[in-house]
Structure 1
Amino acid sequence: MIEKIIEAIEAYETIIIHRHVRPDPDALGSQGGVACFIRDNFPGKSIYLVGEDVPSLTFLNRMDVIEDRVYEGALVIVCDTANQARISDQRYNLGEKLIKIDHHPNEDPYGDMMWVNTGASSVSEMIVSIFESRPEFTMSDEAARLLYAGIVGDTGRFLFSNTTNETFNRASLLIKKNFNRQELYDRLYQANLNLTRLNGYVLQHFELSDEGAGYMTITQDLMDTYSVKPEDASLLVNAFSNVENIKAWVFFIEEKDQIRVRLRSKGPVVNTLAAKYNGGGHPMASGATVYTWEETEQVLADLKEACRKYQ
């Protein structure tokens, strides 16, 4: 599949790269990593990165603004996005050819070509393997910086169970390049004062059920009190993950017209649970969407049951 993707890149002069809405470091790292790969090894092509900008992560990538006509005869690559509904910038189907590169369960197959590896820690790790596929390929320092950020983000700084020996091997290739890892860590994990204070509130008020299900509700009023936006509040999903006896946990974050559900686990499978509520993701890390507080009660009941059954 890597060779087929390379052949497609060689065949097109205009290449547009998408990723999912509300991007995380892996979405931006893999998106930018693909762009760097093409620029490093196939100079002269027109490369565009599209999607919404996230102010806290613009140090990784800034997006391009392009007109619809740019898609005519273009190759489109979508990174780190399992479901078509979550692709940022829904013009992804306007190109001539579409490639999906992802590491989530392939429950929504789309595109003319698909490269899905659920065993990879991140799509950024998958992109490193493209550089590895031919000895003549070169990797810039910027490509290494972006891909390392993506791997670090999706492995929780190599702490999560999705970290494999291949993850470490590929990360070791990246850190041989010239970029400031300490600065990258600092910018990835810095939190402003308001978010830090909200984190303190979360630690004081989260609940842990007898089944081992942790849960926290972040209402709009609470975010207004701390002057925090929903996308920033989502960063606190692992705030109490190291609490004794916790098996899985959920954050409910109120938005203007929906309630975001962020699920994490140390054992119970949560992506099947998320699928019941307009979501999906990895077995141990998933997201969903509900629209009433009554639905959040059902999500929590399902999570408690999953924890109860887990041995």
Structure 2
Amino acid sequence: MIDQILEEIRRYETIIIHRHVRPDPDALGSQGGLASLIRDNFPGKRVYIVGEETEDLRFLVRMDEIADSAYAGALVIVCDTANQERVSDSRYSCGARIIKIDHHPLVDSYGEPQWVETSASSTSEMITSIYRNHPELVLTGQAARLLFAGIVGDTGRFQFSNVTEETFLSAAELMKKPFDRQKFFDTLYQRKLAVVRLNGYVLQHFTLTDEGVGFIKLPLDLIHSFHLQSSDASTLVNCFSTTEGLKAWVLFSEEEGLIRARIRSKGPEINQLAARYHGGGHPLASGATVYSWDEADGLIADLKVLCSRT
């Protein structure tokens, strides 16, 4: 599969790389890392990365602004995105060919070829394996920094159960390259004072049920009272994850017209539950969307049933 994808990259002069909406470090790391890998090894090609930006991750990589005409005859690669409706920038379908590179459970079959490795900790680990299988390629410190960011982000600093021997081998390969890891960690986990204050509120007010379900509801007016946006609140999903007796948890953050639900688990598989609430993801880390606090209560009730079985 790696050789097939490299062959397609060689064939096209314009390559445009997409990823999912509301990007996390793995989305940006795999997207930007792959772009750097291609640029550094095929300097004559036009390589672009597109999609909306999020303020707290702009330090990783910035997006390109390109005209619609750039897609004519272009190869489009979509990273870290299980289903087409979550691809950031709808122009992804305007190219001559689409390749999908992803580590989520298969939800939507699109692209040719599709490289889906659910055993990989992250899409960034998959991109790193291109270099590991072809050590004749150039891997710069910038590419290594981005791919390392993606692995760190999706493994929770190597704490989650998706970490394998291959994950550590990939990280070790990236650490051989010149980039400032301390500065990277300091910037990635830096928080605005307002977010720290909201973190304190969450710790004081989250609920832990007898079934082992933790949850917190953050209405939009509450979020705004801290001078924050819903996207800021979402970063706190794991702030009470070390609580004794916790099996699974959900953080609800309200936006205009909807409520985002970030769901995490230490054992019960939650992605099918998330799918019932307009979402999906990994067995132990998923997202969903509800449209009222009553529907949020229904998700909590279903999560309680799920946890009561384990």
| TM-score (norm: length of structure 2) | 0.99
Give 1:10's aligned residue: 10
- Alignment partner of 2:235: what SS? helix
The structural deviation recorded for 1:73 is 0.2
Write the letter of the residue equivalent to 2:3: E
Give 1:134's aligned residue: 134
Write the letter of the residue equivalent to 2:7: E
Give 1:274's aligned residue: 274
The structural deviation recorded for 1:42 is 1.1
Instruction: Please give the alpha-carbon distance, in whole angstroms, between the structure 2 residues aligned to 1:222 and 1:113.
Output: 45
Instruction: Please give the alpha-carbon distance, in whole angstroms, between the structure 1 residues aligned to 2:58 and 2:223.
Output: 23
Give 1:212's aligned residue: 212
Give 1:149's aligned residue: 149
Instruction: Please give the alpha-carbon distance, in whole angstroms, between the structure 1 residues aligned to 2:214 and 2:134.
Output: 46
Instruction: Please give the alpha-carbon distance, in whole angstroms, between the structure 2 residues aligned to 1:142 and 1:198.
Output: 33
**Structure 1: stretches of 5+ with no match in the other structure:** none
Whether 1:103 aligns to 2:103 is: yes
Give 2:300's aligned residue: 300
Aligned sequence identity (%): 61
Q: Which moved more, 1:234-243 or 1:35-44?
A: 35-44
Instruction: Please give the alpha-carbon distance, in whole angstroms, between the structure 2 residues aligned to 1:293 and 1:243.
Output: 24
Give 1:85's aligned residue: 85
Alignment of 1:1-311 (within 5 A): 1-310=1-310
Write the letter of the residue equivalent to 1:178: P
Instruction: Please give the alpha-carbon distance, in whole angstroms, between the structure 1 residues aligned to 2:10 and 2:105.
Output: 28
Q: Deviations over 1:3-54 (max 9, x none)?
A: 1100000000000000001100000000001101101111110001000111
- Alignment partner of 1:251: what SS? strand
Instruction: Please give the alpha-carbon distance, in whole angstroms, between the structure 2 residues aligned to 1:135 and 1:93.
Output: 32
The structural deviation recorded for 1:112 is 2.0
Instruction: Please give the alpha-carbon distance, in whole angstroms, between the structure 1 residues aligned to 2:135 and 2:260.
Output: 44
Instruction: Please give the alpha-carbon distance, in whole angstroms, between the structure 1 residues aligned to 2:292 and 2:112.
Output: 37
The structural deviation recorded for 1:58 is 1.0
- Alignment partner of 1:236: what SS? coil
Instruction: Please give the alpha-carbon distance, in whole angstroms, between the structure 1 residues aligned to 2:71 and 2:101.
Output: 19
The structural deviation recorded for 1:221 is 1.0
The structural deviation recorded for 1:196 is 0.1
- Alignment partner of 2:243: what SS? coil
Instruction: Please give the alpha-carbon distance, in whole angstroms, between the structure 2 residues aligned to 1:196 and 1:219.
Output: 17
The structural deviation recorded for 1:70 is 0.5
Write the letter of the residue equivalent to 1:22: R
Write the letter of the residue equivalent to 1:165: E
Q: Deviations over 1:107-165 (max 9, x none)?
A: 11111210000000000000000011223111001000000000000000001111111
Instruction: Please give the alpha-carbon distance, in whole angstroms, between the structure 2 residues aligned to 1:198 and 1:25.
Output: 22
Instruction: Please give the alpha-carbon distance, in whole angstroms, between the structure 1 residues aligned to 2:135 and 2:66.
Output: 34
Instruction: Please give the alpha-carbon distance, in whole angstroms, between the structure 2 residues aligned to 1:134 and 1:235.
Output: 36
Instruction: Please give the alpha-carbon distance, in whole angstroms, between the structure 2 residues aligned to 1:47 and 1:238.
Output: 35
The structural deviation recorded for 1:251 is 0.8
Instruction: Please give the alpha-carbon distance, in whole angstroms, between the structure 2 residues aligned to 1:288 and 1:124.
Output: 23
Q: What is the CA RMSD across the aligned residues, in angstroms?
A: 0.6
Instruction: Please give the alpha-carbon distance, in whole angstroms, between the structure 2 residues aligned to 1:108 and 1:77.
Output: 15
Instruction: Please give the alpha-carbon distance, in whole angstroms, between the structure 2 residues aligned to 1:224 and 1:14.
Output: 42
- Alignment partner of 2:242: what SS? coil
- Alignment partner of 1:59: what SS? coil
- Alignment partner of 2:111: what SS? coil
Write the letter of the residue equivalent to 1:272: Q
The structural deviation recorded for 1:223 is 0.6
Q: Which moved more, 1:127-136 or 1:203-212?
A: 127-136
Write the letter of the residue equivalent to 1:284: L
Instruction: Please give the alpha-carbon distance, in whole angstroms, between the structure 1 residues aligned to 2:257 and 2:48.
Output: 31
- Alignment partner of 2:215: what SS? strand
Question: Runs (4+) of structure 1 moved beyond 6 Å?
Answer: none
Instruction: Please give the alpha-carbon distance, in whole angstroms, between the structure 2 residues aligned to 1:23 and 1:47.
Output: 19
